[in-house]
Structure 1
Amino acid sequence: MRDRVVLGSALAVLLLAALAALFGPLVAPYDPGAQNLDLGPTGPSAGHWLGTDELGRDIASRLLAGAGTALWGPVVGAVGTTVLGTALGLAAGYYRGWTDAILMRVTDLMIALPGLLVLVVLVGVVGGGYVWAVAALIVLSAPNDVRVIRSLVFAQRDLAYVEAARTLGLRSGRIMFRHILPNLAPTVLANLLLTFVAALVALSGLSFLGIGLPPGTPDWGLMIEENRRLLDLNPWASLAPAILITVAATAATLLGDGIFDRLSAKGTQRAGD
């Protein structure tokens, strides 16, 4: 019962976050970019539930508008990482031989690199930009998925159902994606959500460092950096986006664990039957 409550709560939080990313700017009480220099930084009030920043911009409105940039980048990064890592992991585990050797040496090299430092350098070299940051994150994060999926494919490759598919003359691609991949669904989905968490933290960190998004853009990570000087005047200007990042990351982690446990249990039950 408790697991269902936790799983349902995590799913509800992520659905609310998705709705905010889709419709946040439409339901924001104020224009997130509208400045009121006469008002300046203020604490929570009836007119501004979370107060305003040093330019008099409404914090609640900027949080709603910033959900899009804060969440869509990690979603795209997580999906791209999972697709790339799963495809290469399937190829390495199924074909073995030179395919596996080459892919794993490249993977080992990528894993050995300091990911966040390389990400900062790459984005800086190409002149910044959120799209470049997401693309670089996909390339740097995929090797972890490659290793995980490869090890699972090794365990599946010589099982009876794969041998039967080969005997029927099915192509390797169909065997990998239509027969082996469904059995890896619990791990793939759990990896997807955990990768989303890592991407959320990484991209928020880049925004905090002023990389990827132009100043003034409504974004949770960027808001923490812009408003950290207002902790005495309006701590919610920095605390609110930090709390939202933490809550979203925690919910995705709990949902990933719950999905893995449930799908794994169903798979074990089917195998037992």
Structure 2
Amino acid sequence: MTELATAPNTKELGQPGPAEKRRRTRPPVLIWLAGAVAAVIVALMLIGTWIAPFDPTRQDLMNTAAGPGGGHVLGTDSLGRDVLSLLLAGARTAVIGPLIVATGTAFLGAALGMVAGWRGGFVDSFMSRVADLMYALPGLLVIIIVVGVLDGGYWLAVVVLTALSIPTAFRMTRSVAAAQARMPYIEAARTLGLPVPRILLRHILPNIFPTVLATFLLDFVAVLIALSGLSFLGLGAPPGTPDWGTLLQDGQSMLTVNPWVSLAPALLILSTAISVTLLGDWMYDRYSTRGAQR
């Protein structure tokens, strides 16, 4: 009598089936909420000025520091401007700077890190020492001094933050790129005589993408807080420009009259930072796990 070969039961072997795999890769509810918050913030950056109920720059000196009511959902600030309109219009200033810094940092950090990790030797050592020197600088103090002395304001702060953020992105990318450069598949590509740009862009970059993504999102959160802090100190957005950090500063003297002037932008900054951090953590885990399973 011959025994019939039966397919192994994946559940008995402890291996997840297709439905279980889909369930595990499905984002949890918290990630969906974080994504919704991030999507709303992006929408506000794009159309916040047009959906504001009032002109955010219009002053009503007869209705200053008023609480919610009279058509003003969150009240008015010390100049009689509608707080809700300032929040909606200020999303562009609050978000566009961190996006520019995070994009530039991720791009330059990844490019320099891949070159250093690939070449090794003197090039790697020299670039690493320069990055270490820049990393040792007190970033916030440098920004305050440069922006204060040159009276450059918001966009100068964006440039300085980009320069100061590159060393961190470089160090993160360089370590994983150096590890990938010693992998057998890279040695095989070298043996086949593939051009260096193709090896870097087609083989190394996809495998270090989780690190680049994490760098981008972490830098976005850090710069969002930094630029808001500079605006709070009067070194960021120009006076009169709708901005969350500027609103925080303006609301200091009105906490007992209309706390929403400070509370609302603080909640927006906090919710944006938390949602982007949660998304970055989840996306990093997902993409790095996929890369490890290839």
Classify the TM-score, shorter chain: over 0.9
What is the one-letter code of the residue matched to 1:117? L
Aligned: 1:84 with 2:104: no
In the alignment, which residue of structure 1 is the partner of 2:84?
A: 60
Q: Distance in 2 between matches of 1:206 and 1:22?
A: 23
Q: Distance in 2 between matches of 1:159 and 1:268?
A: 13
Shift of 1:37: 0.7
Aligned: 1:127 with 2:166: no
In the alignment, which residue of structure 2 is the partner of 1:21?
A: 45
Q: Deviations over 1:95-142 (max 9, x none)?
A: 011111111111110111001110111222322232211111010011
The 3-state SS of whatever aligns with 2:99 is helix
Please give the residue correspondences for 1:187-206 in structure 2 after superposition, counting only pairs within 5 Å.
187-206=211-230
Shift of 1:60: 0.2
In the alignment, which residue of structure 1 is the partner of 2:238?
A: 214
Q: Deviations over 1:169-218 (max 9, x none)?
A: 11222211221010011111111111100010111111111113211110
In the alignment, which residue of structure 2 is the partner of 1:140?
A: 164
Shift of 1:3: 4.7
Q: Deviations over 1:41-100 (max 9, x none)?
A: 111125111111111110000000000000000000100111111111111111011111
Q: Distance in 1 between matches of 2:193 and 2:148?
A: 50
The 3-state SS of whatever aligns with 1:178 is helix
Q: Deviations over 1:224-269 (max 9, x none)?
A: 0012100000000001001100000000100000101111222222
In the alignment, which residue of structure 1 is the partner of 2:56?
A: 32
In the alignment, which residue of structure 1 is the partner of 2:94?
A: 70
User: Paired residue for 2:66, among 17, 20, 42?
Assistant: 42
Between 1:238-247 and 1:158-167, the stretch displaced more is 158-167
Aligned: 1:12 with 2:36: yes
Query: Runs of 5+ in structure 1 lacking a partner?
Result: none
Q: Distance in 2 between matches of 1:53 and 1:131?
A: 25
The 3-state SS of whatever aligns with 1:109 is helix
The 3-state SS of whatever aligns with 1:47 is coil
The 3-state SS of whatever aligns with 2:28 is helix
What is the one-letter code of the residue matched to 1:102? F
Shift of 1:165: 1.1
Shift of 1:21: 0.6
What is the one-letter code of the residue matched to 2:272? A
Please give the residue correspondences for 1:167-182 in structure 2 after superposition, counting only pairs within 5 Å.
167-182=191-206
Q: Distance in 2 between matches of 1:196 and 1:219?
A: 16
Q: Distance in 1 between matches of 2:250 and 2:260?
A: 12
Q: Distance in 1 between matches of 2:230 and 2:142?
A: 12
What is the one-letter code of the residue matched to 2:86? R
Alpha-carbon distance change, 46 to 268 in structure 1, aligned in 2, over 3 angstroms? farther
Q: Is the 8 A contact 2:154 2:238 kept in 1?
A: no
Q: Is the 8 A contact 2:114 2:178 kept in 1?
A: no
Q: Deviations over 1:138-184 (max 9, x none)?
A: 10011011111111112111111111111121122221122101001
In the alignment, which residue of structure 1 is the partner of 2:179?
A: 155
Shift of 1:34: 0.7
State the structure with more CA Rg.
2
After TM superposition, the runs of 4+ consecutive aligned structure 1 residues lying more than 3 A away are: none
Query: Runs of 5+ in structure 2 lacking a partner?
Result: 1-22
User: Paired residue for 1:183, among 195, 203, 207?
Assistant: 207
Instruction: Please report the RMSD computed on the Cα atoms of aligned residues, expressed in angstroms.
Output: 1.3
User: More helix by proportion, 1 or 2?
Assistant: 1
In the alignment, which residue of structure 1 is the partner of 2:117?
A: 93
- How many aligned residue pairs are there? 270
Q: Distance in 2 between matches of 1:22 and 1:186?
A: 27
